A and B are shown apart, each in its own frame.
Chain A
Amino acid sequence: MEPSRLPAFLLGRVVKAAIVILAIVVCNFFLIHAAPGDPASIIAGQSGAADARFLAQLRAQFGLDQPLYVQLWLYLKGVLTLDLGFSHRQQMSVAALLWDRLPATLLLTGAAFVFALVIGVSMGALAARRVGTWSDSLITVLALAFYATPLFWVGLMLVLLFSVTLEWLPSFGMASVGVEMSGLAAVLDVGEHLILPGLTLGLFYVAVYARLTRATMLEVADQDFVKTARAKGVPEGRILRRHILRNALLPVITFAGIQAGQLIGGSILVETVFAWPGIGRLAFEALLARDYQVLMGVFFLTSVMVVLFNLITDLLYAIVDPRVEVSR
């Protein structure tokens, strides 16, 4: 894409993105309010004093006695000023709560993302280069196994092997409890805690990238321009890197964009299994407590991430593939 067209492209996309996010916010609002039970009833139930007057008082306090459209209007107004509401349960503003949990989740999902992309593409490229040999078969079978196994099961098995049996790696939390550490030691400690959840979260995508890379590389290898490169005497290694892999990475970028969009919302299961103090577990807890505001905050953040990474993917695509502008 020509640089001169970038501002117009960006502006158009941002406007579209804003509309999409607004629509998602409204949908989320109705979806959550359609679910049975509300925070007042849960709090009242847990406090043990569930008489109707206390319930009504709680509802009035949370603004739940207002008509639905008023609640929606108040919420939308809040979102537009980046005020995501207040969690009565946690006694904190939702924005602060999310901000608090965000780094942990980004660390986990970011690590899983990089791990999946690097290992997956390498495995796929290797398999494509050695197509039909035992290393290709091994990679294909491994990828299929990762692809087919449920996430939580992989997590539990990893815990069983590396934490319980071998006692090599910690099985829950983000840092060792009750030990004061600083500097490098702290970083290493977090890193050690990161391995199992990161692996669990990443393995599925390793499989996806490996299969995708292998398939597209084999497809690209059959194309005419690869033969042209061969006809002008380009060595095989260079053909693989400069001609085949570069073209084969286009669909991988598309998929990486999808995975990146799920960086926030996709780790609920793994965070729960490994007690990782991130957004995913926050969402899980909020759901159990019918903590509307927090849940909607998580959804809002998730949808922003998806839309944002879609935009980044498209931009990246336009940079990598000069033809994109034409078919936009």
Chain B
Amino acid sequence: MTRLLTVENLTVGLPRGADRPNAVENLSLHLDAGEILCVVGESGSGKSITANTVMGLLPKGLPVKSGRITVEGESLLDLSAEELRERRGARMAMVFQEPMTALNPLMRVGDQIAEALAVHGKGGEAKARVPELLEAVNLPDPAAIARMHPFRLSGGQRQRVMIAMALALEPALLIADEPTTALDVTTQMQILHLIREIQQRKGMGVMFITHDFGVVAEIADRVAVMQHGRVVEEGSAAEILNAPKHPYTRALIAAVPHGAASDRPPIRPAPVLEMKGVTKTYQRGGWFGARAVVKAVHDADFVLNKGETLGLVGESGSGKSTLARCVVRLVEPEQGEILFHGADLRPLSRQGWLPYRRRIQMVFQDPYGSLNPRRSVGRAITEGPITHGVPPAEARARALELLRLVRLDESAMDRYPHEFSGGQRQRIGLARALAMQPELLIADEPVSALDVSVQAQVLDLLAEIRQRLGLTMLFITHDLRVAAQICDRIAVMQRGAIVEQGPTAEVFGAPRHPYTRALLDSIPGRGWTPPVLTESA
């Protein structure tokens, strides 16, 4: 094996006023040709900064203070800007996290790949190479795809185009920065396989950045775990995954949802919410254009019993959020019955809905977008109860109690959302929903935007609150491991319909529908069972 990349004692500064002086401190890494190194860490651990430093793509405010980076024996930090540009794309290439925004929306994808060839003096080969490259990443009908603009492609297809573009000049080093994080599980699995396959065929070295230990188990040869800008543990994939030594690694692995359905007490059938024949279709066009009809929700009946948690799982676009939003009338379905304690909510007027608003509450996915930035946390929590007639003093007392319940300090009352981290904001969102003393809580991907360790905390909190308050919950998620951990029953959605539902252990243990099986097979690292780790040792 030849040494492809070495990073020695790299220190990259942060701007003044940041929470720590350096983004990356005294960091050393190495990568051989033909090897996949996973760099794992939570958000803010400095893993992306490291990758960008290697590529020479650091934003202006972040200076490299010291250290040495060599790629194929050449010291990158000593190169001029122009020399570095010549290496970028040719000897080292990068794939980014967000396929939806990483391609120029106004250029045909074929032209974007051709541009990579052209700027390195190989524009003449483009005509022949572009379809070849698109075929190499398993895109159907490469000639047609090459002529398309990015908006016509799905996220997975775009990510394939990005990979094709990165491979255009056969680089020795590929840096993939969370390339599958924004994708659905089945697509994620395909992309992981693709990267693995191409890497083996070309003998490339791949630096793969991720936060997901499942992905690590799927693809890594070696692993480096980062925390606060430092590598805290490094070793072979098997070592790190099964016998982690550093406390931080151990904590991270312990926080991975184990995906095993635990035994749960049987639920007495006492329907709180019943969906019957609810249909929602979206139409586009009209007048003169062709009309397109999308059935967002159909054939999605379910019953939710008192004290039960039902998990709606499915990939993006499967209609799970739309279905949940129908319940609280953020979306108005055109057909069907939404029975809440036997009363149909669908035909109610806005006025008629008011008494139910309090009893059904929702927690949203985006902890940043779902709180009004100009409103203090206390007001956010008390606003709902006060508009429903609770005296302000009582609402305030209750809000304080709720903050304790979600394990936030009482001082949070007078602070504003931007002063809190993502996990804390999600807890504020939870407190806000609970302030209404709802019977039914709808949680729409409440932990998807959070780091694993924070995710574990929020999930534990949800489970505990559910027990204590006897809440009934509709839990929407795309992450099957999370669903397994928290839900009593699971309903699997595909293209707007529920294709399978049943007790969690049954659905996971003996899936009947092929789609459910495909989903389960796509869970990254399904062959790896996180070791049971004791706190000490």
Whole-angstrom distance from the CB of B411 to the nearest CB of chain A? 35
Separation of A326 and B285 alpha carbons in the complex (Å): 9
Mask for A213-234, Cβ within 8 A of B = 1, else 0? 0000000000111011111111
Task: Please tell me if A89 contacts chain B, counting CB pairs below 8 Å.
Answer: no
Which residue from chain A places its CB closest to the CB of B103 in the assembled complex? A225
Separation of A247 and B288 alpha carbons in the complex (Å): 29
Separation of A170 and B94 alpha carbons in the complex (Å): 61
Task: Please tell me if A243 contacts chain B, counting CB pairs below 8 Å.
Answer: yes
Mask for B144-187, Cβ within 8 A of A = 1, else 0? 00000101000000000010011010000000000000000000
Separation of A235 and B83 alpha carbons in the complex (Å): 11
Residues of B contacting A9 in the complex (Cβ-Cβ under 8 angstroms)? 288-289
Interface contact A224-B101, CB-CB below 8 Å: yes
Residue from B103, B149, B151, B287 in contact with A228 in the complex, judged by beta carbons closer than 8 Å: B103
Separation of A235 and B116 alpha carbons in the complex (Å): 11
Interface contact A322-B102, CB-CB below 8 Å: no
Chain A CB within 10 Å — which of B87, B106, B168 has the most? B106
Residues of A contacting B151 in the complex (Cβ-Cβ under 8 angstroms)? 322-323, 326
* Count of chain B residues with a beta carbon within 8 Å of a chain A beta carbon: 34
Interface contact B105-A231, CB-CB below 8 Å: no
Interface contact B162-A235, CB-CB below 8 Å: no
Task: Please tell me if A100 contacts chain B, counting CB pairs below 8 Å.
Answer: no
Whole-angstrom distance from the CB of B52 to the nearest CB of chain A? 9
Residues of A contacting B290 in the complex (Cβ-Cβ under 8 angstroms)? 5
Q: What number of A-B contacts does a CB cutoff of 8 Å give?
A: 89
Mask for B57-92, Cβ within 8 A of A = 1, else 0? 100000000000000000000000000011111100
Whole-angstrom distance from the CB of B223 to the nearest CB of chain A? 24
Separation of A234 and B106 alpha carbons in the complex (Å): 17
Task: Please tell me if B104 contacts chain A, counting CB pairs below 8 Å.
Answer: yes
Separation of A12 and B151 alpha carbons in the complex (Å): 25
Interface contact B57-A230, CB-CB below 8 Å: yes
Residues of B contacting A52 in the complex (Cβ-Cβ under 8 angstroms)? none
Task: Please tell me if A238 contacts chain B, counting CB pairs below 8 Å.
Answer: yes
Residues of A contacting B165 in the complex (Cβ-Cβ under 8 angstroms)? 228, 232
Residues of B contacting A234 in the complex (Cβ-Cβ under 8 angstroms)? 89, 115-116, 119
Task: Please tell me if A8 contacts chain B, counting CB pairs below 8 Å.
Answer: yes
Mask for A231-255, Cβ within 8 A of B = 1, else 0? 1111100100011001100000000
Task: Please tell me if B55 contacts chain A, counting CB pairs below 8 Å.
Answer: yes
Separation of A230 and B101 alpha carbons in the complex (Å): 14
Residue from A225, A238, A246 in contact with B102 in the complex, judged by beta carbons closer than 8 Å: A225
Whole-angstrom distance from the CB of B291 to the nearest CB of chain A? 12
Whole-angstrom distance from the CB of B57 to the nearest CB of chain A? 6
Which residue from chain B places its CB closest to the CB of A247 in the assembled complex? B106
Task: Please tell me if A285 contacts chain B, counting CB pairs below 8 Å.
Answer: no
Interface contact A247-B105, CB-CB below 8 Å: yes
Interface contact B87-A233, CB-CB below 8 Å: yes
Task: Please tell me if B202 contacts chain A, counting CB pairs below 8 Å.
Answer: no
Interface contact A323-B289, CB-CB below 8 Å: no
Task: Please tell me if B515 contacts chain A, counting CB pairs below 8 Å.
Answer: no
Given known A8-B288, A322-B149, contact A228–B119 (CB-CB < 8 A): no
Whole-angstrom distance from the CB of B347 to the nearest CB of chain A? 32
Residues of A contacting B120 in the complex (Cβ-Cβ under 8 angstroms)? 233
* Interfacial residues of chain A within 273-287, with CB under 8 A of chain B in the complex: none
Residue from A8, A232, A246, A320 in contact with B119 in the complex, judged by beta carbons closer than 8 Å: A232
Interface contact B96-A227, CB-CB below 8 Å: yes
Task: Please tell me if B98 contacts chain A, counting CB pairs below 8 Å.
Answer: yes
Residues of B contacting A167 in the complex (Cβ-Cβ under 8 angstroms)? none
Which residue from chain A places its CB closest to the CB of B101 in the assembled complex? A224
Interface contact B289-A233, CB-CB below 8 Å: no
Separation of A12 and B290 alpha carbons in the complex (Å): 12
Task: Please tell me if A328 contacts chain B, counting CB pairs below 8 Å.
Answer: yes
Residues of A contacting B106 in the complex (Cβ-Cβ under 8 angstroms)? 246-247, 320-322
Separation of A68 and B57 alpha carbons in the complex (Å): 71
Interface contact A12-B94, CB-CB below 8 Å: no
Separation of A69 and B86 alpha carbons in the complex (Å): 75
Task: Please tell me if A148 contacts chain B, counting CB pairs below 8 Å.
Answer: no
Separation of A224 and B101 alpha carbons in the complex (Å): 6
Residue from B115, B149, B289 in contact with A8 in the complex, judged by beta carbons closer than 8 Å: B289
Task: Please tell me if B93 contacts chain A, counting CB pairs below 8 Å.
Answer: yes
Separation of A238 and B96 alpha carbons in the complex (Å): 21
Which residue from chain B places its CB closest to the CB of A132 in the assembled complex? B60
Whole-angstrom distance from the CB of A197 to the nearest CB of chain B? 36
Separation of A231 and B57 alpha carbons in the complex (Å): 7
Residues of A contacting B101 in the complex (Cβ-Cβ under 8 angstroms)? 223-225
Interface contact B289-A231, CB-CB below 8 Å: no
Residue from A227, A232, A326, A328 in contact with B116 in the complex, judged by beta carbons closer than 8 Å: A232
Task: Please tell me if A11 contacts chain B, counting CB pairs below 8 Å.
Answer: yes
Interface contact A233-B85, CB-CB below 8 Å: yes
Residues of A contacting B162 in the complex (Cβ-Cβ under 8 angstroms)? 228
Separation of A261 and B55 alpha carbons in the complex (Å): 47
17 additional contacts (CB under 8 A) given A5-B290, A9-B288, A232-B168: A5-B289, A8-B288, A12-B288, A224-B101, A228-B96, A228-B103, A228-B104, A228-B165, A232-B89, A232-B93, A232-B119, A233-B86, A233-B120, A235-B85, A246-B104, A246-B106, A322-B149
The 3 closest A-B pairs by CB, nearest first: A233-B89, A12-B288, A232-B89
Pairs A–B under 8 Å by Cβ, sample size 23: A5-B290, A224-B98, A225-B102, A228-B96, A228-B102, A228-B104, A230-B57, A231-B93, A231-B96, A231-B166, A232-B119, A232-B168, A233-B86, A233-B120, A234-B119, A235-B119, A242-B104, A246-B106, A247-B105, A321-B105, A322-B105, A323-B105, A323-B151
